[in-house]
Chains A and B, each alone.
Chain A
Amino acid sequence: MNNDSADIGENAGSSLPEPFSGWFSGRGWEPRPHQLALLQKAQSGLSSLLIAPTGAGKTLAGFLPSLIDITLKEEKRRPGAARSSARRGIHTLYVSPLKALAIDIERNLANPVADMALPVRIETRTGDTPSSKRQRQKRDPPDILLTTPEQIALLIASREAGLLFGDLKFVIFDELHSLVTSKRGHLLSLGLARLRRHSPGLRTIGLSATVAEPEALQAWLMPQVAQDAPVLAERIVIAGGAKPEITILRTDERVPWSGHSARYAMADVYQAIREHQTTLLFVNTRSQAELLFRELWRINEDDLPIALHHGSLDASQRRKVEAAMAGNKLRAVVATSTLDLGIDWGDVDLVVHVGAPKGASRLAQRIGRSNHRMDEPSRAILVPANRFEVMECQAALDANYLGAQDTPPVGDGTYDVLAQHILGMACAEPFTADALFTEVTTAEPYRSLGRDQFDRVLDFVATGGYALKTYDRYARIRVTKDGTWRVSNPRIAQQYRLNIGTIIEAPELKIRLTKHSGRGVNVRGGPVLGKIEESFVEMMSPGDTFLFAGRVLRFEGIRENECIVSKGGTGSPKIPAYAGGKFPLSTYLADQVRSMLADPGSWQALPDQVREWLEIQRRKSVLPKQGELLIETFPNADRFYMMMYPFEGRLAHQTLGMLLTRRLERARARPLGFVATDYAMSVWGLRDMGLMIERGELSLAELFDEDMLGDDLEAWLAESWMLKRTFRNCAMIAGLIERRYPGQEKTGRQITVSADLIYDVLRSHEPDHILLQATRTDAAAGLLDIRRLADMLSRIKGRIILNRLDQISPLAVPVMLEIGKEPVSGEAHDDILAEAADEIIAEAMG
């Protein structure tokens, strides 16, 4: 064992009972010290967080305490006999962020359990589990249930919850770092609080990759007391195994200025696939996956088995790919985040990441996919799609070597999630407000929740929380004479179960392939290829072609909730899909990229063409020093541009763009528009803003003053579509708008009462409604990234550099190329774009 952590005692091998000890030695294995340490803590009643890199035997460590406990109890009960038939509840719950991971774990546990003939029944329960099996699981639960957060919410809201969880001993949270963030984590934390009420002595085991702030996860695992210091679970850390070998793709091709397709690198990527046994290719979005897959097959002269895997594909197709993968029948799989996290399939010896990894911890996670044996190094190649991404990749690479990780913070529990939980608890059994409030505040994200806020959410759940009290007679939950809250009728509980969860998907249509091209939608039959966002389908007219499931499809039309397509031939698809990165550049990486820009000494690591680009920027304009914000102004065509490089991610830049244009408008600079990328932001208008600043008509300090986050923000928020989208999610999670009615599946469009409308009505009639409060908080943290913008504004105070130029600077080119990109465009349009692009580049570099 070469990965011992210092605080773990040696020679603990003897503490494993039979048949476990024999099973280990029979394989020439020894239990790893962290496995024993975790066991020991669990046996003395403690909860633990186990931090380990992929491949360290984390999963088995997590399950050992349960397997041993169940086995010993069973032997005590009836020595030598098989599992007793007496009814009992679930012994251990295992919660995973992904369905696929739960299924994978079941497969991995099956072998040791069978080998040792353990009297343990293990089953999975996910959204895909047939309802007959789910019913049976409630009557006759397994010892160990492997499941997802949504299923936990469902189970604790059922009347059988007390019987199911009364004997619960362990709850294992896999990939805890990705479970706790976001609203899904908030709901799960409330679920854990409820599980603990059913079985006060239960122990939690969190399994996690390396994270920046392990204390947050340790606290999450434990019941908290509102005003006291955080109660922390134990922590066991295994140091990292062999360091991954990560490189940035070296290529003789020209790296593009902008865009996300990385088409230029296809030949090099294909060559890498040929040189390895099995390659996993990761991208950030579904459309990038489709594009990459198609480009690879275009040059796949050896007919290598290369497959495609993303969340929109039909489940049966995904299962096929996963099975082929496990059987080592594939040479490469192109995948999005559906294959993320520590899923163990086959012998992957290379990970290729196309596009910028965006967050260092995402990169670490993905690299962890390659080579699951801890003592051998993982191999990974990063393929940047454009020049800024080259710098970002280099930064990510440095970060991985440094072991730096940026997991988003747990965050305060939101009201919409709380509303969903309260209704669920009423469905399970009557509760008193006092008891539920106390229970809820033991959950880490809700520890500082005030009683008045709780009561307002409770009021919302009961009657909608409106000032106009016309709905008392329609209350969903009511206080009864004994002071307990109960659901008004069983239908409420039925509806609740259909609408559980916090993952709001964009409305989607099934894609059905028909053989009849050009016959429109009045055709029958044909296989379902997967699902596609309604908003994407809405852009298309019949006859348009697009990429899906690795082929070109011809759009025939929409029939009910199906998008009918036929084969679209082999030409290039007419409709390019939005190909931007889904995740904004992380704060940590942004910092790295900024310091790289400021330090020419670090450019040695960059490819020649990127280094040359930065050199010319230094000669023609200026490079900002660490901590400075560079602003360039220049004329181009008949417009004046103001370019800035905050490197704070697309969301924060969008918000900045919105607010800045309002201010420029007031200063009569006549702004016309702006464009934001992950790295930079550009505003253009009819007046020379650089000249205005020089003449003192415009003050940079005032323009970028932090007070823009006051009134300007409020005024803009009031009319922002982003707030409406956020509201829709909050309203659905809180149960104001239902996604599904019994016996009635609807697509987004058919929801007759639109969320937009409810938002407008609420805003004019009840601006302080609890859901509007939740919406504003959400938007500030999420879509608008206001916290990050605020940090930036305070960081650059007094450190803004203005450089007036006669023409566009090299650094500005990638941003300028983003201007005017519309999602729908024909061939000719592309030519015009290409022409314009070439002119701009020539002007900057010439």
Chain B
Amino acid sequence: MNRASAAQAVIADDMISTAEIDINGTAAICDPIGALYLPDSRTLVVSDLHLETGAAYARRGMLLPPYDTGLTLKLLQVALDRYRPACVVSLGDSFHDRHGAGALPGESLAQIGSMMRGRDWYWIAGNHDPDHPAGLAGDCVNALLFDGLCFRHEPLGGTADTAGEVAGHLHPAARVVRRGKGVRRPCFASDGLRLIMPAFGVTTGGLNLRNAAFQGLFHKSQLTAHLLGRERIYSVPFDRLIA
């Protein structure tokens, strides 16, 4: 199962089983669609949408199918309909490159516009899209503090002073092996103090949680991967994961 097929066969809300976790004292819900919901502040967090990936590649000569934005937005719409948040935080790399927003086809532009209507919307600056997305409303910030949490794109190194950080950028994925068969899925990664979001965009790949890039970011004994299943979240302790 990948993000694209998830977008094509969306599961009804009442079939969904989420994981309720606690990030540095704040309650949060991990949804198998790849979004985080904070009930206290009615905030929906998504990360690494990588909209207009196809177009970004096309600009460089690789003519990938031009349908990824439509699929990612379809998934986002499902999440919005499910939680009806008052506030949305897009945690950076919302667009695959800095030309993405400006060259957005009219239809997608209108769709994003209607999603944003009537709610607060924050574009956190990412490494792919450091500037305010051209032609779109919402606030563009480097980091955002509220609800006892700190939202930024790239996680800070180490574990000191990072309690309450919610970040993206790394596209965590986890792998489990049973009876000789391996399954690899995107995941939320959290040790209870900080959380790293799975990538939401349909074109995104994943980086294994055991990769060196995650070195030192978590208290490993407390680290749990919440893997995205089709209908539910599978929570697996870090020491049961395979590189």
Q: Which segment of B15-23, B30-38, B55-63, B138-146 sits at the interface?
A: B55-63
Chain B: how many interface residues by the 8 Å CB criterion?
A: 32
Instruction: Tell me, yes or no, whether A476 is within 8 Å of chain B by CB.
Output: yes
In whole Å, how far is A743's beta carbon from the nearest beta carbon of chain B? 13
CA distance A760 to B65 in the complex (A): 10
CA distance A460 to B64 in the complex (A): 11
Q: Please determine whether B61 and A492 come into contact, CB atoms closer than 8 angstroms.
A: yes
Pick the contact of A751 from B2, B58, B205 — CB < 8 Å?
B205
Question: Which residues of B are found within 8 Å of A822, using beta-carbon distances?
Answer: 179-180
Q: Please determine whether B67 and A760 come into contact, CB atoms closer than 8 angstroms.
A: no
Q: Please determine whether B203 and A466 come into contact, CB atoms closer than 8 angstroms.
A: no
Instruction: Tell me, yes or no, whether A468 is within 8 Å of chain B by CB.
Output: yes
Q: Please determine whether B65 and A762 come into contact, CB atoms closer than 8 angstroms.
A: yes
> For window 187-223 of chain B, which residues contact chain A by CB distance below 8 Å?
202-205, 212
CA distance A735 to B61 in the complex (A): 9
Q: Please determine whether B66 and A754 come into contact, CB atoms closer than 8 angstroms.
A: no
User: Interface size bucket, A side?
Assistant: 35 or more
Q: Please determine whether B62 and A738 come into contact, CB atoms closer than 8 angstroms.
A: yes
CA distance A825 to B177 in the complex (A): 12
Q: Please determine whether B205 and A754 come into contact, CB atoms closer than 8 angstroms.
A: yes
Residue among A464, A492, A558, A761 having the largest count of chain B Cβ atoms under 10 Å: A761
- The 0/1 profile, CB within 8 Å of A marked 1, for residues 1-13 of chain B is 0111100100000
Q: Please determine whether A558 and B62 come into contact, CB atoms closer than 8 angstroms.
A: no
Instruction: Tell me, yes or no, whether A765 is within 8 Å of chain B by CB.
Output: yes
Residue of A nearest to B202 (CB): A757
- The 0/1 profile, CB within 8 Å of B marked 1, for residues 460-490 of chain A is 1001101010110010100000000000000
Q: Please determine whether B212 and A753 come into contact, CB atoms closer than 8 angstroms.
A: no
Known contacts A474-B55, A752-B204, A822-B179; decide if A760 and B4 are in contact (CB<8 Å).
Answer: yes
In whole Å, how far is B14's beta carbon from the nearest beta carbon of chain A? 25
Q: Please determine whether B67 and A559 come into contact, CB atoms closer than 8 angstroms.
A: no
In whole Å, how far is A151's beta carbon from the nearest beta carbon of chain B? 23
Pick the contact of A757 from B2, B59, B66 — CB < 8 Å?
B2
Residue of A nearest to B215 (CB): A522
Question: Which residues of A are found within 8 Å of B63, using beta-carbon distances?
Answer: 460, 463-464, 466, 471, 474, 476, 736
Instruction: Tell me, yes or no, whether B39 is within 8 Å of chain A by CB.
Output: no
Question: Which residues of A are found within 8 Å of B177, using beta-carbon distances?
Answer: 824
Q: Please determine whether B55 and A824 come into contact, CB atoms closer than 8 angstroms.
A: no
Question: Which residues of A are found within 8 Å of B68, using beta-carbon distances?
Answer: 761
Instruction: Tell me, yes or no, whether B53 is within 8 Å of chain A by CB.
Output: yes
> For window 126-152 of chain B, which residues contact chain A by CB distance below 8 Å?
none
> For window 40-79 of chain B, which residues contact chain A by CB distance below 8 Å?
53, 55, 57-68, 71
Question: Which residues of A are found within 8 Å of B205, using beta-carbon distances?
Answer: 749-754
Instruction: Tell me, yes or no, whether B118 is within 8 Å of chain A by CB.
Output: no
Q: Please determine whether A757 and B3 come into contact, CB atoms closer than 8 angstroms.
A: yes
> For window 308-335 of chain A, which residues contact chain B by CB distance below 8 Å?
none
Question: Which residues of B are found within 8 Å of A760, using beta-carbon distances?
Answer: 2, 4-5, 8
Question: Which residues of B are found within 8 Å of A753, using beta-carbon distances?
Answer: 53, 57, 64, 203, 205
Question: Which residues of B are found within 8 Å of A541, using beta-carbon distances?
Answer: 242-243
Residue of A nearest to B180 (CB): A822
CA distance A766 to B67 in the complex (A): 10
Question: Which residues of A are found within 8 Å of B179, using beta-carbon distances?
Answer: 822
Question: Which residues of B are found within 8 Å of A757, using beta-carbon distances?
Answer: 2-4, 202-203
Instruction: Tell me, yes or no, whether A823 is within 8 Å of chain B by CB.
Output: yes
Question: Which residues of B are found within 8 Å of A538, using beta-carbon distances?
Answer: 182, 243
Instruction: Tell me, yes or no, whether A621 is within 8 Å of chain B by CB.
Output: no
Residue of B nearest to A822 (CB): B180
Residue of A nearest to B242 (CB): A541
Q: Please determine whether B182 and A468 come into contact, CB atoms closer than 8 angstroms.
A: no
Instruction: Tell me, yes or no, whether B105 is within 8 Å of chain A by CB.
Output: yes
Question: Which residues of B are found within 8 Å of A521, using beta-carbon distances?
Answer: 212
- The 0/1 profile, CB within 8 Å of B marked 1, for residues 543-582 of chain A is 0000000000000011100000000000000000000000
Closest 9 CB pairs of A and B: A464-B63, A822-B180, A474-B58, A760-B4, A752-B205, A470-B66, A757-B4, A761-B65, A471-B58
Some 22 contacts from A to B, beta carbons below 8 A apart, are A464-B66, A466-B65, A468-B67, A471-B55, A471-B58, A476-B61, A491-B60, A492-B61, A521-B212, A538-B182, A559-B212, A751-B205, A752-B205, A757-B2, A758-B64, A760-B5, A761-B67, A761-B71, A765-B67, A822-B180, A823-B180, A824-B180
A474-B61, A754-B205 known, 15 other contacts, Cβ within 8 Å: A464-B58, A474-B58, A476-B63, A541-B242, A558-B243, A737-B62, A741-B60, A749-B205, A753-B64, A753-B205, A754-B2, A757-B3, A757-B203, A760-B8, A765-B67
Chain B interface residues (CB < 8 Å from chain A): 2-5, 8, 53, 55, 57-68, 71, 105, 177, 179-180, 182, 202-205, 212, 242-243
